[in-house]
Structure 1
Amino acid sequence: MPPRRKLDPYATIEVADPLEGMRIRLTLWLLPLGAVAALTAWGLSVVSGKLSLPDQFLLLPMTLVFLLLEAYLLRNPQNIRWVWQIALGTIAVYEIFSLYYEAAYKLYQRDGITPAVLWFPMVYLMAFNLLSRRQALRFSLTYLVLGLMAGTIGLLSSPSLNVSSVNTALQFTLSNIVYLSLLYLFAYLRRHYAQMHQMAHTDALTSLTNRRAMQIKLDNELDRARRYNRPFVVLLADLDHFKRVNDTYGHSVGDQVLREAAGRLQQHLRESDSLARWGGEEFLILAPETDLHQAHHLAQRLLEAIRETPMSGVQVTLSLGVACYRQGDTVAALLSRADEAMYRAKAAGRNQVVLEEQLEDVIIPAHTTMPDMQG
């Protein structure tokens, strides 16, 4: 039997798109702006008496489509990509029709192309910034091919075909190929950067947030607590006797236990809570808008979630320390109290929760020998 190929732990990680919120905000003002631009172009063309065939039939419908998409997006922001597929498709139809009309009826009469056709390559840029990389590439290639076909048909059907017209068409074709190639390269680099960013902030074994990323979240939450005087807690959780698991069952089983523990903890957290692998068999939970009493209930749920059934055939328990933000706290001070509370849970027999307010109640004489705290 051939050996199993080792999988890249990052291969299945979904890369969060940091531009998604910006896309929604951008779209909410771009759509009405596009409607105003289309309506203005139609009105000025009517006033000047130079309303072309594409403008006559497409500008007013484009205005209506953009306004309807704006209204829809306000109610359904989660469908941003679907909205932009329709918007870009509408613009593409207008540009392809304009390209055909320009090549068939106008290009032979003068040098250069009309302003409408100058916007043709801008559609690639919008596609690569507002759609996923694969969607943008498929859309842009289809758009370019259809545009070149329309332009070619228009040239062949024009009353005259001169050198200037051919040169303009050739430069248009080559420049658009270059635009599209460079945008694809940019999109690839952007995706590569997003993956590197994700790898730098994700634990490879459990796919949880790693210590570096959680430190950033802690700093941000501390700033918010100081500014608005809002409570939050941190829970430091450590799997009990985990070294014995590795020594008895092997590191592969130990790794699987860590993955299962991470999954169980994540299932019992709120959407606003954050879970990170803090190091080794330690996990850190950040719970905003939570006081010590609420955190105690949360910790009990997590404790029960780990010990309720064995993981990979191994019965595992958890020790948790809980600390709540105090006015004037630093991240280091907060984590120190959570760590001390977790240490006391270990000292008291493991498989339990200790709150920071209990630390003063637990007095261990200096001459007393502490139990083994490893795991």
Structure 2
Amino acid sequence: MIPHSHIPTETVESLRELKRRIYLWAMLAGLSSMLFSWIPKILTRKITSYESVIFPLIMVLFLGLMIALWRTLRALVWVEWSLFAITTISLLGTLQETMQSPVTARDPHHLVAFVDILYWFPLVYVLAFLIFNSRRQLLFGSVVFFAVSVVLGMVHTIPELLRGESTEFYLLLRFYLANVAYIILLMVGVRLNEQYIRVYTMAETMAHLANTDALMQISNRRELEATIDREINRATRHNQPLSAVLFDLDHFKHVNDNYGHQVGDSVLQETARLVQTTLRITDFLGRWGGEEFLVIAPQTDCIQAQGLAERLRNAIAMHPHQHAGKVTASFGVAQYELGTSPDAWLKCADDALYAAKQSGRNRVATE
């Protein structure tokens, strides 16, 4: 299993929320199952002293865990460990209580109770898979539970086997062999899952590196070109407006010449962060080349894009950089026209940007 330290924070939180929902539904199902088992036994007076105590106790504990987990996600860790402890202890205790009486043809109620216990044992391995964060912990938890169940079973069945009564022994033997198979399959599944996650994470990382500008951590030109094609298709299909905002920093060469490339890189990074906080969630920002940025604004006509560009221009002009002071930017805005090629559309934005520079810089021009 992959440690949480190797997974992005957002992914860890979504996994925790998923686990909370799984536990809540699982405990609700467990409560329902126990009620359906407990009530008929009370009505028919076929409930043992152990069952009359363990059933209400588990139901109360489950209800408490459900309330705690429903109220806050912070309770997840101790709730899942409590759930694992309650499940393992109750199953082992029920196995011990059930083994007290020998299985005979004259005791069908006990035989049903014994077989019913065997059905629920694999639940422990599922819980171990959900709770433990490493293969070693998963294997340890599963094997310890299995070993204790073997000891409990052998303590009761070996004396009977020596007396020539082998029915219960062979039933338990088949059950233990099935549990060994469960554990082996679980470990194989975990191993395959780890490999899948590593490969998937590596592919995601490579895709991110291929489509992200290393300096500013925004889309690079390759990713922008794919975004342009996708948004043009969407705008054409839904007959919606689409605009491009092309801008670059004014006199950026002077920043590099006067303060050095390290300060210039810092100005680019701060500008990218500033623009990202100003854009809408539906807009796309990327580095088009050098100190030139491109914003793709879906569902935005030329007038709206001009307003967006003015907000960006003002935010950049008002932002003081630590060493370079205030830096301005010039903007060119162009709305996409149906049937126009991407190159022709961006050429309009580039021409508008050139016009803004020719008009004195630190301004917005349209096609």
1:230-241 matched pairs, under 5 angstroms: 230-241=240-251
In 2, are the aligned partners of 1:234 and 1:287 still within 8 Å (CA)? yes
* Corresponding position: 1:297 with 2:307: yes
User: Counterpart of 1:152 in structure 2: which amino acid?
Assistant: A
Asked if the contact 1:101–1:154 (Cα under 8 Å) also holds between the matched residues in 2, the reply is no
Does residue 268 (structure 1) correspond to residue 278 (structure 2)? The answer is yes
Q: Does 1:320 align with 2:328?
A: no
Deviates more, 1:154-163 or 1:204-213: 154-163
Shift of 1:55: 7.2
Task: Write the distance in 2 (CA, Å) between the matches of 1:219 and 1:89.
Answer: 50
* Residues 333-372 of structure 1 mapped to structure 2, 5 A cutoff: 333-356=344-367
Q: Determine if contact 2:211/2:222 at 8 Å carries over to the other structure.
A: yes
Equivalenced residue count is 326
Letter paired with 2:118: T
Contact 2:333 2:349 in 1 (8 A): yes
CA distance in 1, matches of 2:223, 2:197: 25
Bigger Rg over Cα: 2
SS at match of 2:243: strand
Q: Secondary structure of 1:160's partner?
A: helix
The answer as to whether partners of 1:322 and 1:341 remain within 8 angstroms in 2 is yes
- Asked if the contact 1:103/1:151 (under 8 Å) is kept, the reply is no
Relative to structure 1, the CA distance from residue 262 to residue 184 in structure 2 (aligned partners, 3 Å threshold; closer, same or farther) is same
Aligned to 2:144: 149
Find out whether 1:96 has 2:91 as its counterpart: no
- Give the CA RMSD over aligned residues: 4.6
Correspondences of 1:1-375 after superposition (within 5 Å): 17=11, 34=26, 38=30, 41-42=33-34, 45=37, 58=58, 92-93=84-85, 95-97=87-89, 100-101=92-93, 104=96, 114-123=118-127, 137=133, 145-158=140-153, 159-160=155-156, 164=173, 172-314=182-324, 315-356=326-367
Q: CA 1:112–1:91 in 2, change beyond 3 Å: closer, same or farther?
A: same
TM-superposed CA distance for 1:234, in Å, is 1.8
Report the Cα distance in structure 2 between the residues aligned to 1:84 and 1:307, rounded to whole angstroms: 47
Contact kept? 2:128, 2:141, Cα under 8 Å:
no
Deviation at 1:216, TM superposition (A): 3.7
Shift of 1:213: 3.0
- Once the two structures are superposed, residues 243-268 of structure 1 have per-residue CA deviations (whole angstroms, 9 ceiling, x without a partner) of 34334433222212211221222232
Cα–Cα, structure 1 residues 292 and 27, in superposed 2: closer, same or farther, change >3 Å?
A: farther
Q: Encode CA deviations 1:14-54: one digit per residue, 9 max, x unaligned.
A: 6865995x998x88996897578546744765699799967
Where do 5+ consecutive residues of structure 2 fail to align? 1-5, 104-113, 159-168
TM-score (norm 1): 0.65
SS in 2 for 1:183: helix
Flag the 1:46–1:226 CA change in 2: closer, same or farther, 3 A: farther
Cα distance, 1:123 vs. partner?
4.1
SS of residue in 1 equivalent to 2:120: helix
- The answer on whether the counterparts of 1:300 and 1:353 sit within 8 Å (CA) in structure 2 is yes
Structure 2 CA distance for partners of 1:217 and 1:161, relative to 1, 3 Å: farther
TM-score when scaled to structure 2?
0.66
Distance of aligned partners of 1:157 and 1:115 in 2 relative to their CA distance in 1, 3 Å threshold: closer
Is this contact kept in 1: 2:244–2:297, CA < 8 A? Answer: yes
**Structure 1 residues without counterparts, runs of 5 or longer:** 1-11, 73-78, 128-135, 357-375
Aligned amino acid, residue 198 of structure 2: Y
Shift of 1:274: 2.6
Against the structure 1 CA distance between its residues 83 and 297, is the aligned structure 2 distance closer, same or farther, given a 3 Å change threshold?
Answer: farther
